[in-house]
Structures are given as structure tokens and as C-alpha cells.
Amino acid sequence: MNDPAELRELFHTLNNQLGIILSHAELLEAKVREDTQRARATQVVTTTLQALATARQIRLALEAGSPP
């Protein structure tokens, strides 16, 4: 899979999937009242944001022609 168009499509799909996870986790975080459940939702939000940042770094590295 060295086709740049295919890679862009994969990153687009990954970003969409992570965006869905993020939005649902944020909704849970806002709605749950129990501290343990809120902490778990917060962990999902934080980790999803990190995954989005990692995907962005990989995409930028590939576009620059260097390893991530």
C-alpha cells in the first residue's frame, strides 16, 4: 500500500472512526455521575486525542518522506 491516495483514504477513515469514539466518550463523560465511570470516560477521551495526534504525526512524516 504505497499509493498516496490509498493512504490518505485510510487516514481519513481512521480520523472519522476516532472522531466517533471521541464524541461518544465526551458525551459519556458529561452525563455520568459516578466518579469511576467519569474517570474511565475521561481516559477514553484522552487516549483518543493522543491517537488522533499520533495519526497526524504519521501522516505528516509520510508526506515529508521520513519515518515517523
pLDDT at 67: 56
pLDDT at 1: 62
Q: Is the whole model's pTM more than 0.75, yes or no?
A: yes
- % of the chain at pLDDT higher than 90: 68
Q: Alpha carbon of 26 to those of 31, 42, 45, 61, 67: distances in Å?
A: 9, 8, 6, 29, 32
If one compares 64 and 33, the residue with the highest pLDDT of the two is: 33
Query: What mean pLDDT is predicted for residues 4-30?
Result: 93
Q: Where exactly are the structural domains of the chain?
A: 22-68
| Residues 48-63 pLDDT 10s | 999 999 999 988 888 8
